[in-house]
Amino acid sequence: FREDYSDIVLEHFMCPRNVGSMNDADGEGTCGEPGCGDSLTIYIKVQNNVIVEISFLVFGCAAAIATSSMATELAKGKTIEEVLKITDEDVIEALGGLPEHKKHCSNLGVQTLKKAIEDYYKKNAHKE
């Protein structure tokens, strides 16, 4: 198990950042990976177009936990436009790589980030 993962992946798996739900989120999104059954929910708070708070709950494998943690770290403090440009390759690179059969796990983080932003747009459309 350990040999398959970079030190950064192991570290984020054992000590994930931004874990938890958020009651007063401005947007939230949930995605599931049908292949493995893992699922992820991301919550965001937005101020002046910037993600000021972000948290996640994941039901999944070690790589899903590490990639969710890293995806939220990459998104925190960025503008919505910047976050929409984050790719799974960015997440994998920030983690120092992922084994081939675990690459789909990073997709979950990126897709769910986009869903949370979509939800934020939906909830705030009437205010603009």
Which DSSP letter does residue 49 get?
T
Contact status: 36 vs ligand FES (CB under 6 A): yes
Binding positions for ligand FES, 42-61, rule CB under 6 A: 60-61
CA–CA gap between residue 49 and residue 19 (Å, rounded): 22
Residues with Cβ within 8 Å of residue 35, at least 6 apart in sequence: 104
**Active site includes 31?**
no
Q: Return the number of the residue (27 or 60) whose C-beta is nearest ligand FES.
A: 60
For ligand FES, which stretch binds (CB under 6 A), given 14-22, 30-38, 41-49, 114-122? 30-38
Q: State the Cα angle at 15 between 31 and 41, rounded to 5°.
A: 15
Look up residue 30 and give its amino acid. Answer: T
Binding test (CB under 6 A) with ligand FES, winner from 38, 46, 71, 83 = 38
By CB under 6 A, tell whether 64 contacts ligand FES. yes
Which of 15, 31, 61, 105 is the catalytic position?
A: 105
